[in-house]
Amino acid sequence: MSQPADADFRPASGLLAQLDLLRIEVAGPVLHVRLNRPAKRNAISDTLITQLHTCFVNVPEGVRAAIVSGEGDHFCAGLDLGELVERDVAEGVLHSRMWHTAFDQIQFGKVPVIAVLHGAVVGGGLELASACHIRVAEASAYFGLPEGQRGLFVGGGGSVRVPRLMGVARMTDMMLTGRVYDVNEGVQAGLAQYGVADGAGFAKALALAQRMASNSPMSNFAVMHALPRIADQAQAEGLFTESLMAAVAESTPDAKERLRAFLEGRAGKVVKS
Ligand code: 1HE
């Protein structure tokens, strides 16, 4: 996973600059958050999960989309197994809830997030990826849920989010048998929306992030916050929530100007990309 040299990314300042397990940069409306523990394959320690939470609570003003990637040869090796000390049940629940809080902040935060995946995307790494809104997987990416082999269960929202991407049967198979999906299988199964060549993930994510950033913020808000909740509702409630959200979105001054622009021939048409 490499970042194109011509991208105008600058190190983030203030609180974000203090998060030492992340490398955070900004270019215009796009925030790039890199997991930065390559020696430990970006395994998620308590400090790293806390820093991810802090980062996504404090998305800088003016940022409209974010990209998450991993430094080194792998996206993320999941939970830092070195920290798996003896916990009692209550401590175990609280530890898992800490991950839920951080990943909820990504899924239901201020801006849509794209994950660029390469190498290992396993355990908690897949849980992190599945909390993002779009996943771009490079050819080297592979997906696994080795919790069964480690005597664990998913604890970072994986049992809720992964089946929504690939179905309960496929996740059951991965967890019971240790099956690892390669990039093509992962894309086919729904774990990633885009499959790209090695090294091409960041450029693809940047292009997608710039497009998302140019949308109406209210439309992006609706997609991030209403769509997954509607998908969880029964039909009658879902349809009603949709109507409310549609009415809110179309009533903004931004929406009215965008519609006028289209009707006056000032806006782009839908084109096949
Ligand atoms: C780690 C971790 C880790 C690597 N926690 N230290 N996740 C797993 O079960 C995946 C475990 N990791 C691996 O299978 C492999 O490390 C990889 C396939 C990801 C990468 O292999 P490789 O050959 O590139 O690296 P390596 O030599 O295995 O590891 C390099 C170092 O990273 C080494 O430490 P060192 O001090 O000996 O150099 C490893 O110990 C360390 N390392 N992965 C801690 N995960 C909320 S619940 C979520 C539950 C889960 O995520 S369970 C799945 C955990």
Cα 114 to ligand 1 centroid, rounded to whole Å: 23
C-alpha gyration radius of the chain: 19
Please give the mean pLDDT across all residues of the chain. Answer: 95
pLDDT at 85: 76
Pick the closest to residue 171 from 198, 153, 196 (CA basis).
153
- What pLDDT digit, counting tens, does each position of 157-177 carry? 999 999 999 999 999 999 999
Q: Tell me the pLDDT band of 209, cut-offs 50, 70 and 90.
A: very high
> pLDDT tens-digit profile of 39-61?
999 999 999 999 999 999 999 99
More confident residue, 85 or 124: 124
Mean pLDDT value of segment 72-86: 93
C-alpha of residue 74 to centroid of ligand 1, in Å: 10
Does 142 have pLDDT greater than 60? Answer: yes
Show the ligand 1 pocket: residues with CB < 6 angstroms. 40-41, 43, 73-74, 77-82, 99, 120, 122-124, 146-147, 150, 152, 154-156
- Residue-wise pLDDT for 58-76, tens only, equals 999 999 999 999 999 999 9
Residue 192's alpha-carbon distances to 52, 90, 106, 189, 243, in angstroms, are 21, 34, 17, 8, 29
pLDDT at 7: 62
Please give the pLDDT value at position 87: 83
What does the pLDDT read at residue 210?
96
Q: Contact, 195 vs 225, CB < 8 A? A: no
Q: Answer for the pair 8, 205: CB distance below 8 angstroms, yes or no.
A: no
Average pLDDT over residues 253-262: 94
Active-site option among 25, 71, 91, 147: 147
**What local confidence, expressed as pLDDT, does residue 5 receive?**
43
Q: Which of 127, 138, 185, 237 is catalytic?
A: 127
Per-residue confidence (pLDDT) for residue 6, from 0 to 100: 46
Q: For ligand 1, what atom is nearest to the CA of residue 125? A: 51
Q: How deeply is 64 buried, as exposed, middle or buried, from its count of CB atoms within 10 A (0-12, 13-18, 19+)?
A: buried
- Residue nearest atom 15 of ligand 1, based on CA coordinates: 77
Closest residue CA from atom 10 of ligand 1:
77
pLDDT at 84: 84
Percent of the chain with pLDDT over 70: 97
- 61 given a catalytic annotation: no
Q: What are phi and psi for residue 70, nearest 5 degrees?
A: -125, 135
Q: Identify the pLDDT of residue 111.
A: 98
**C-beta separation of 25 from 32 below 8 A:** yes
263 CA from centroid of ligand 1 (Å):
55
User: Residue 180 pLDDT > 90, yes or no?
Assistant: yes
| Percent of the chain at pLDDT exceeding 90 | 94
